[in-house]
Amino acid sequence: MYELIEEPIYVGAIFRGDNIRPRWFVWKKRKYPVREITFSWREKKGDETLIYFSVSDGVNLYEICFNQRRLNWFLSKVSIEG
Amino acid sequence: MNRVIMHIDMNAFFASIEQKINPHLRGEPVIVGGSPHSRTVVATASYEAREYGVETGMSLSEARRLCPQAILVEGNSAKYIDTSIKIIKILNKFTDRVEIFSIDEAFIDVTGSEALFGAPKEIAQKIKGRLKKEVGLPCSIGIAPNKLLAKLASEMEKPDGLVEIKEEEVPKILASLPVEKLCGIGEKTASHLLRLGIRTIEELGNAPKELLVRHFGIIGHLLSEMGRGMDGSKVVSYTEEGEVKSMGHSYTLPIDTSDMEIVRTVLLRLSEQVGRRLRKAECRGRKVTLVLRYSDFFTFSRDLSIPYYIDYGLDIYYVALRILKRIGRLTKPVRLVGVKVSNLILDSQQIYFLDTYKKREALIGAIDRINDKFGEFTIKPCLLLMETPQEKIFPYRISPYQRKSLSYLSPFST
């Protein structure tokens, strides 16, 4: 089960060509390390391309998203299974 | 030269993706379907859930009865389509002859690629390795001299299988397999064949062609070839596919309904979606098909051809309404509604002389541009304003006022 969050976050990421690898993110003044990127995919919303990353900090699972047009990040969902 | 065809089947595709995303789901029975609060069907079940008898297409309530501990995950088509595109790109590294069979299946023709990538089995191993490394998903690959046998081979070992059927092994392999193992022979054809005393593929191959033609018409020739493991069809790359013959959408309602207002509203949403697709593809059609499935899964369709070509959601909707009216009273609650437009032509940028049509064309163009920029259904007919967000389609009501305003909008309304 996921909880919908949809809040802006700060993200540290490595951009190498087409490849984007988020390394950490800050949500509500707390820094979360990205221990594993379990999956990533793209979605088109109108003329905007959103790149989703399912990431784990070793404890919980998060879905973070990069808006390729606006160049901003947001936390989309948090897994509430623990 | 013998052809080398491969069929790549992503194992329990949607469920495998969800298990890849969420480590808590790995090794667990997972069912991918619609919203947990709605009543849709099983889109895919993980192999752990399949062990309990859960199958694709089964209602969620039936799946839950068979496997109460199954974890239901709401599907996300954008995620699956994007992954499918990644897979096709990987297959394209091995050959340009890639035929997309479905979102999770593809045929490739690697005839002549041996010098580049090795023997067929070696190529298949390389593909499996890249798919595992780059998308993290398992697949089964069947290798054979044609598409029919390649598909059969990939079905023989699941999950994560690799089976090669060589030309000389064909008679032995087909000898004992039941006819329904062949792609294209469904339950109905299999039971018809059984009535003729044909149970195995070998028996189908040995059956007199005249008998098959007498019972199945022109398909009889094809069935006879299939029985002998023959299939001359080529791998049609997605870049050289023929023109689209029809466009349609269907929707399974969260709850079976006898409320015609609900059916009509779903019909409008589907018609709008079909219209958008037609306009994007610059097509118009003049045959509309309405598909209905009752609560007992009885499915039927009726169509209506009109003398002009249409590509606008409301026009499609009004033709579908005419069909609905002809069907009359629905005898059972409706489970699924579908709309399809066929008999297509490429839109030749029709020039309108009447101001009403010109204005409407300009309005539709503007709405399309807004929806292109901000997403589907940003601007939509007022009837659909009643909808709660996608998938939560209740309450679906059309007030008499809304119906009146709707008929005003479409010059084709009846």
Interface of A with B in 4-63 (CB under 8 A): 38-39, 41-47, 52, 54, 56, 61
CB contacts of B133 in chain A (<8 Å) are none
CA distances to A10, B78, B100, B145, B391 from B36, in Å: 32, 18, 30, 44, 10
The DSSP code for B402 is H
Q: Where in chain B is the domain with CATH 3.30.70.270?
A: 1-165
Name the phi and psi angles at A40, rounded to 5.
Answer: -145, 150
pLDDT digits 0-9 by tens, B355-366: 777 888 889 999
Which residue does chain B place closest to A58, by CA atoms? B23
| Interface contact B83-A41, CB threshold 8 A | yes
**Helical H runs in B281-346?**
313-327
Residue that is written with structure tokens 């949403």 in the block:
B269
The catalytic position among B48, B99, B105, B202 is B105
pLDDT digits 0-9 by tens, B2-38: 899 999 999 999 999 999 999 999 999 999 987 766 6
- How far is the C-alpha of B144 from the C-alpha of B165, rounded, in Å? 5
> How close A59 gets to chain B, by Cα (Å)?
11
Q: What is the predicted pLDDT for the residue at B349?
A: 62
User: Over its length of 414 residues, how does chain B's per-residue pLDDT go in tens digits?
Assistant: 689 999 999 999 999 999 999 999 999 999 998 776 666 678 899 999 999 999 988 888 899 999 999 999 988 888 999 999 999 999 999 999 999 988 899 999 999 988 899 999 999 999 999 999 999 999 999 999 999 999 999 999 999 999 999 999 999 999 889 999 999 888 888 999 999 999 999 999 999 999 999 999 988 999 999 999 999 999 988 777 666 789 999 887 777 888 888 899 999 999 999 999 999 999 999 999 999 998 887 889 999 999 999 999 999 999 999 999 999 888 888 988 999 999 999 875 666 666 777 888 889 999 999 998 988 888 888 877 765 444 444 333 333 333 333 333 443 333
Which residue does chain A place closest to B371, by CA atoms? A46
> How close A80 gets to chain B, by Cα (Å)?
11
| Interface contact B24-A79, CB threshold 8 A | yes
Among B21, B78, B374, select the one facing A43 at the smallest CB separation.
Answer: B78
Q: What is the predicted pLDDT for the residue at B11?
A: 95
Residue A71 gets the label, from left (phi > 0), alpha (psi -120 to 50) or beta, of left
CB B342 within 8 A of CB B266: no
CB contacts of B20 in chain A (<8 Å) are 38-39
Residues β-bridged to residue B385: none
Give yes or no for residue A66 having a pLDDT over 80: yes
Interface of B with A in 71-90 (CB under 8 A): 78-79, 82-83
Fold of B246-409: Dna Ligase; domain 1 (3.30.1490)
Q: What is the mean pLDDT of chain B?
A: 87
Q: What is the predicted pLDDT for the residue at B261?
A: 87
Contact with chain A for residue B21, Cβ under 8 A: yes
Does the domain made of B170-231 have the CATH classification 1.10.150.20?
yes
| Interface contact A46-B82, CB threshold 8 A | no
Q: Where in chain B is the domain with CATH 3.30.1490.100?
A: 246-409
Q: What is the predicted pLDDT for the residue at B241?
A: 66
Contact with chain A for residue B378, Cβ under 8 A: yes
| Interface contact A38-B20, CB threshold 8 A | yes
Contact with chain B for residue A67, Cβ under 8 A: no
| Interface contact A47-B24, CB threshold 8 A | no
Q: What is the predicted pLDDT for the residue at B387?
A: 54
Q: Which of B323, B321, B327, B270 is nearest to B298 (CA)?
A: B327
Which residue does chain A place closest to B36, by CA atoms? A1
Of A35, A37, A39, A43, which to mutate for an interface test with B (greatest number of B Cβ within 10 Å)?
A39
| Interface contact B23-A47, CB threshold 8 A | no
Q: What is the predicted pLDDT for the residue at B348?
A: 59
Q: What is the ipTM of this complex?
A: 0.93
Q: Which of B184, B215, B219 is nearest to B198 (CA)?
A: B215
- How far is the C-alpha of B79 from the C-alpha of A52, rounded, in Å? 9
| B281, burial (CB in 10 Å: exposed 0-12, middle 13-18, buried 19+) | middle
Of B19, B24, B74, B82, which to mutate for an interface test with A (greatest number of A Cβ within 10 Å)?
B82
Active site residue B105: yes
Q: How much is the average pLDDT of A32-41? A: 96
Q: What is the predicted pLDDT for the residue at B254?
A: 72
Q: Where in chain B is the domain with CATH 1.10.150.20?
A: 170-231
Just give the CATH number of B1-165: 3.30.70.270
